[in-house]
Every structure is written in structure tokens, then in C-alpha cells.
Structure 1
Amino acid sequence: MAGTSANEQLFDHLVRSETRLYNAVGERLKAEHGIVASQFEFLRYLERHPQSRVADLAMNFAIGIGATSKGIDRLEARGWVRRVRNPDDRRSSLVELTPPGRHLAAAAGETFRTELETLVGSVLGEDQTEVVIAALAALRGALEERNAGLPAG
């Protein structure tokens, strides 16, 4: 890319790769499990962080609380999650997976890992993957420390 800085090139490759990966994984999850990638991400987060607040998910995914709450509403309507009383704060509730939600998260997780192995693992070796992980973890950490890119509301 003549005339563009390394940071511009990084941005372009990072964003375009992320979009293509997200879309491809989403298509596979939809075909095999009837869920979209964002639903899977919420299920996977709740699988790893039982009884989370909506605000916890919003912060992790850097999206607004309203959008997060609507996403949880959709999962709740399908019977995959439920809201329970927060014993530490009567004004908020905690979100947890239901048994069908746990089953779906596990099955979709297998599909997710298989698709990532096909799309990423077959292209990048383990050494390259570790380097990319370290670089992106450092970048994400710095962005989170600065509260950069959080939605305004």
C-alpha cells in the first residue's frame, strides 16, 4: 500500500480481517445452530462468567448498555438465558445461562473452534498466532486503559 503508514496498513488489515472472520463464523453458526455471532459471543461470555450483569457484558464488548440489554432480551425470549436477582444490588439483575443455553453454547463452541481452525489455524502457524495474540492483547489493554472507543451511552 504505497503512501500509507504502517499504522494505516495495520488498521486496514485488522478491520477487514475481523469483518471477514466475524461474517464467516457467523454464517457457520447460523447454518448449524440458528444463532448469529453476537448471540454466540454473549452465550460464550456467560459460559465463562456465570451470573454477570448486563453492564459487565457491555464493558467487555465495548457496546452500549441498551444494545446489550436488548441482546439479552432476545436470548431470554429463546430460553437460553435468564435474569436473576442480584443479591448485592437490588437495582440490577444477574444474567445466567439456562440448561438449553449451556448446551447451545457448548455445541456452538465446537463449531466456532472448528471454523477458526479452518480460517486462522490453517493460515497462521502457532508461532505467528502467538505473536499476533501478544500484539493485539497489548493494543487492547492500552485502549481499555484509556477507555478509548467506548460508546457514549
Structure 2
Amino acid sequence: MTDLDQVFTDLVRFQIDLWNGVDADLREAADTSLASIESLRVIAARDVCRVNDIADDLRITVGGASKIADRLERAGLVERRANPVDRRSSLVALTREGRATLDRAAPVYEAALARRLGDRLDGATLDHLARALRLLRTEPTREDSE
């Protein structure tokens, strides 16, 4: 029988190590953070999005997403404008500098993931891990489905 506590510990510790390693590579080689890149990727995927979209995609609070958007705006990586549909919210879009930051970071990000995941697991194992993680993220728990 699999020790679920050990699975949890291994998963969380690996996620922390993975995040910290990719973040360190991005800071050193692309002068940006993984938190910024993850947020910019969410915005780029939607072209224009709400702070709530960032929060939902990154699984963080709206307050946390708002702080990230504020930091990105101060850095000139995104711009905010009024949401014509909902005056209580604003829309966030990449600036040219935001797009350039994503472009500059992409090879560093990809190499960091390859080194920490792709080079350590064979293709079949990596595919199995990807399927298992996707299932865990998308399948409701018993409590969610009741």
C-alpha cells in the first residue's frame, strides 16, 4: 500500500525545489522571476484578462493576483485599463516590454524544465506523471462531487 503522507511530502518538496530552481535560473539569466513569468503567461494566453483570471489560473487569491498585477504594471510589463463590461474590475494586457520579457525568458524557462524534469525522467515516465497530475487537477474529490 502506498504511503499517502510520503507521496504528499515528496510531491510538495519536489514542487518547491522545482519552483526555486526554475526561479533562480530565470532571475540569473533573464532578470525576472518565475512568479512574473507565470503571470505573464496567463495574460498572454488570454491576450487581455482580468485579475480574477490570473488568480483562477495560478490558484492564488484575488488579492495576491492584484499585487502581482501591480508589480508587473510598475515594471512596465502590463497595462491596466477599465473593463467596459464591469466597472468594478480592470483588464490587464501585456506591453511590448512584457512580451519581450516573455520572449527573453522562454529559452531559460524551457531549459530549466528540461534539466529538472525532461532529463531526469524517460518519456514514458514523464507521460505517466503528466497524465496523473492532470487527473488530480481535473477530477473532483468525493466531497466536491457530493
Structure 1 and Structure 2 fold alike (TM over 0.5): yes
| Distance in 2 (alpha carbons) for counterparts of 1:97 and 1:34 | 17
Cα deviation 1:92-113 (Å, max 9, x = unaligned): 1111100110011121122100
Aligned-partner Cα distance in 2 for 1:35–1:143: 35
Aligned partner letter, 1:60: D
What is the Cα-based RMSD across aligned positions, in Å?
2.0
**2:87 is aligned with 1:90:** yes
* Aligned residue number for residue 69 of structure 1: 66
The 1:16/1:143 distance shift into structure 2, 3 A limit, reads farther
Give the equivalent residue in structure 2 for 1:60.
57
Paired-residue identity, % = 34
1:85 is displaced (CA, Å) by 2.1
Structure 1 gaps, min length 5: 147-153
Does residue 17 of the first structure (1) align with residue 14 of the second (2)? yes
TM-score between the two structures when normalised by the length of structure 2: 0.91
Q: How many residue pairs end up in the alignment?
A: 144
Partner secondary structure for residue 49 of structure 2: coil
Preserved CA contact (<8 Å) 1:46 1:96: yes
Tell me how far 1:143 sits from its aligned partner: 5.4
Distance, in Å, in 1 between the alignment partners of 2:20 and 2:109 is 12
Residues 8, 56 of structure 1: CA spacing in aligned structure 2 closer, same or farther, 3 A cutoff? same
Q: Deviations over 1:29-83 (max 9, x none)?
A: 1011222211111011112121111011111112111111011100100100011
1:113 aligns with 2:110: yes
- TM-score with structure 1 setting the length: 0.87
**Partners of 1:87 and 1:126 in 2: how far apart?**
46
Pairwise CA distance, 1:5:
4.6
C-alpha separation between the residues in 1 aligned to 2:140 and 2:93?
Answer: 28
Structure 2: 5+ residue runs without aligned partners?
none
